[in-house]
């Protein structure tokens, strides 16, 4: 079978579209024929060697978190799925192998695919949408009527976060570039801020939740923009996060870090939101898996609106 591998860390040209051995599922796994995957920033951060503490130096390594496809073999101890089921899901960041024609996966990483999405559309959902859902619901404790600011509202996680916050009946402010304001407004944002013209931390408005997806604002810098019991959520583990958490310890405001993990119930909730047309994936562009170098090159520009899909 064909898969994307790399034998050293580096630029996109280290990626190889190569022939590898087809995996076999254990009794507790499924073999999935991957029809589509997608590119997430974690993929090229791994490829660059930015996460060597986790990924190590034993090559070849594989990439890819998101997938949508069909179950073609089901282990004898798997009871919730059967051959021909259409499923979607994701690997935990850092352990992905979805850039390939076949994968083995546990039932804990998948759920039935939304019926109103193609496999290419569904592959844009799992990691980014789960990150948005877990960030807002689990960490931010989002509730009806709250005010939520989403920094990075036009990106992969951000486009889902705007829609999910609205589905939870919050009032949403989206921070993005001016050219993406029409899209973020269409997705449901009540207010928008063009970060090239304004700094939200310099405004007087305060929020119940600040979801800093981009990671360029520390908790300390956001404190004036948080309500007295507001919650700051980041996806970026860093020394600054640890230091700034000290300031949160002496405040009613909270600073929280999200490390997303696959949860079948979350994938099921997202399926329901999508099928009820409250959430939809935004796809910037689509590449064939064999064009993975070009897909990574574009992702690294930082100008992707929504997600990049890979057709396998």
Give the Cα separation of 152 and 106 in Å (integer).
32
The residues that bridge with 73 in the sheet, in sequence order, are 31
* Terminal Cα distance for the chain, rounded: 11
Domain edge (last residue) among 257, 272, 289: 257
Whether residue 79 is found in the same domain as residue 132: no
> Does 44 share its domain with 106?
yes
So what's the pLDDT on residue 5? Answer: 97
Residues 155 and 251 in one domain: yes
Q: Assess whether 135 and 91 both reside in one domain.
A: no
Average pLDDT over the chain, rounded to whole? 95
Burial of 88-109, coded b for 16+ CB within 10 Å and e otherwise, reads bbbbebeebbbbbbbbbbbbeb
pLDDT of residue 239: 56
Quick one: 64 and 164 in the same domain?
no
Q: Identify the pLDDT of residue 87.
A: 98
Instruction: Using pLDDT thresholds of 50, 70 and 90, give the confidence band for residue 258.
Output: very high
- Using the predicted structure, report yes or no on whether residue 249 has a pLDDT greater than 70: no
Measured at the CA of 41, the angle between CA 31 and CA 106, to 5 degrees, comes to: 20
The answer to which of 16-20, 76-80, 90-94 has the lowest mean pLDDT is 90-94
What CATH code is carried by the domain that includes residue 201? Answer: 3.40.50.720
Whether residue 276 lies inside any domain: the answer is no
Domain count, the chain: 2
pLDDT at res. 27 = 98
Given pLDDT bands bounded at 50, 70 and 90, which one contains residue 53? confident
Q: What per-residue confidence (pLDDT) applies to 94?
A: 83
Alpha carbon distance 311, 120 (integer Å): 7
What range defines the domain where residue 90 resides?
2-125+281-311
DSSP-assigned states of every residue in 165-203: HHHTT-EEEEEE-GGGHHHHHHTT-SEEEETTT--GGGS
Confidence of residue 109 (pLDDT cuts 50, 70, 90): very high
Query: 65 and 41: one domain?
Result: yes
Q: Could you read off the pLDDT of 70-90 as tens digits, one per residue?
A: 999 999 999 999 999 999 999
Asked, for residue 268, whether it belongs to a domain, the answer is no
> Is the pLDDT reported for residue 251 higher than 90?
no
Q: What CATH number corresponds to the domain at position 67?
A: 3.90.180.10
pLDDT of residue 246: 60
Question: Residue 240 above 70 pLDDT?
Answer: no
């Amino acid at each position: 079978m064909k898969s994307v591998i790399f034998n050293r860390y580096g630029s996109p040209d280290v990626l190889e579209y190569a022939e590898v051995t087809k995996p076999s599922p254990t009794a507790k796994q499924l073999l999935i024929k991957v029809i589509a995957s997608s590119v997430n920033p974690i993929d090229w951060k791994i490829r660059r060697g930015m996460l060597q503490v986790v990924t190590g130096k034993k090559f070849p390594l594989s990439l890819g978190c998101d997938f949508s496809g069909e179950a073609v073999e089901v282990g004898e101890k798997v009871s919730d799925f059967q051959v021909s089921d259409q499923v979607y899901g994701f690997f935990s960041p850092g352990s992905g192998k979805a850039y390939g024609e076949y994968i083995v996966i546990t039932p804990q990483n998948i759920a039935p695919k939304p019926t109103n999405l193609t496999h290419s559309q569904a592959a844009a959902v799992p990691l980014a949408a789960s990150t948005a859902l877990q960030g807002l619901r689990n960490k931010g404790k989002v509730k009806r009527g709250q005010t939520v600011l989403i920094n990075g509202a036009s990106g992969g996680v951000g486009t889902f976060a705007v829609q999910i916050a609205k589905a939870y009946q919050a009032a949403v402010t989206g921070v993005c570039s001016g050219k993406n304001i029409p899209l973020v407004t269409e997705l449901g944002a009540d207010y928008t801020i063009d970060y090239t013209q304004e700094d939200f931390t310099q405004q007087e408005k305060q929020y119940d939740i600040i979801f800093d997806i981009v990671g360029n604002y520390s908790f300390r810098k956001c404190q004036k923009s948080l309500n007295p019991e507001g919650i700051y959520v980041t996806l970026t583990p860093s020394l600054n996060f640890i230091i700034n958490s000290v300031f949160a310890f002496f405040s009613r405001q909270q600073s929280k870090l999200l490390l997303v993990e696959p949860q079948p119930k979350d994938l099921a909730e997202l399926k329901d939101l999508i099928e009820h047309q409250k959430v939809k994936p935004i796809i910037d562009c689509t590449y064939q898996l064999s064009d993975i170098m070009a897909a990574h090159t574009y992702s690294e520009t930082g100008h992707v609106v929504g997600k990049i899909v890979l057709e396998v």
